[in-house]
A = this chain, B = another copy of it.
């Protein structure tokens, strides 16, 4: 990387990429200019640090790039918005192989295009280890943002996407097992259900979040923000593939599904009586908060198993 220099590497990353119609000014000027037809812009940012959020011996550069975009795109989607563009700041050692940067860029472009957008700008600097910082922008297309604070008693809780697959994939990687390729893939390169987020917004979802900290933790954020209690039906989140893998790997399937992080699935609440759109499956109910406050329960009881990803630095 040092040999080619910042501008050379950036040229290489951008060469031949197709920018969408939403981009008025692409990479190469002081800043990019993106369409924001709604006259509001949704924005979120996440940083991934080598050794903390990914390991180059577990994930390919391409998968790391895909995941970095996916986790930001999922946050935009969780507002009920359509991703419109990403900017990427990349730190890496000067001796980094260009193949690593090429792989990262390929993965980022792959996932950005899955979400309907492109990478419109960035920064490349030297740092002791790989650091990838992504900011995603999105457009609400005239609809109100779907916040965490809108859930009301009686609402149906539903999920789009897989739960526990990323955590199970990590357990598989740690165990050295090689037969759970689908779970490892889900860990290394989760694929958020972007279209389902738009469907939820249009179907009148009252609250929504992506599942990054684990289902119970993210439902906890909704419960707290909305001042409600939420109960999850354990049978509704049962996943035979997770049960199979958990048995083989010596893990608890309920813990994986209920508290595993980084799936970047979506969880939303829908007013009672509304039609839960395609791609969503009901998993529980919102209730008025009782004396215990805005708690999340499983089959009516507090969850006493393992916990999710709440510690500093994940």
- A interface residues, Cβ below 8 angstroms from B: 1-2, 4-7, 9, 24-25, 28-49, 51-53, 74-76, 78-79, 81, 85, 87-91, 94, 120-129, 131, 133, 135-138, 140, 145, 147-149, 208-210, 225, 310-314
Q: How far is the CA of A210 from the CA of B29 in the complex (A)?
A: 10
Provide the residues of chain B in CB contact with A209, threshold 8 Å: 30
Q: How far is the CA of A37 from the CA of B36 in the complex (A)?
A: 9
Q: Is there an interface contact between B44 and A36, defined as CB atoms closer than 8 Å? A: no
Q: How far is the CA of A74 from the CA of B25 in the complex (A)?
A: 17
Provide the residues of chain B in CB contact with A313, threshold 8 Å: 2, 6, 94, 124-126
The answer to whether A312 and B135 touch (CB under 8 A), given A40-B36, A42-B32, A88-B45, is no
**A43 CB to nearest chain B CB (Å):** 5
A-B contact pairs, 29 of them (CB 8 A): A1-B312, A2-B312, A4-B312, A6-B310, A7-B310, A24-B145, A28-B225, A29-B147, A29-B149, A29-B225, A30-B148, A31-B76, A31-B79, A32-B44, A33-B43, A39-B39, A44-B87, A45-B88, A45-B135, A47-B90, A47-B125, A47-B133, A49-B127, A52-B127, A89-B133, A94-B313, A124-B313, A127-B129, A131-B131
Q: How far is the CA of A123 from the CA of B89 in the complex (A)?
A: 14
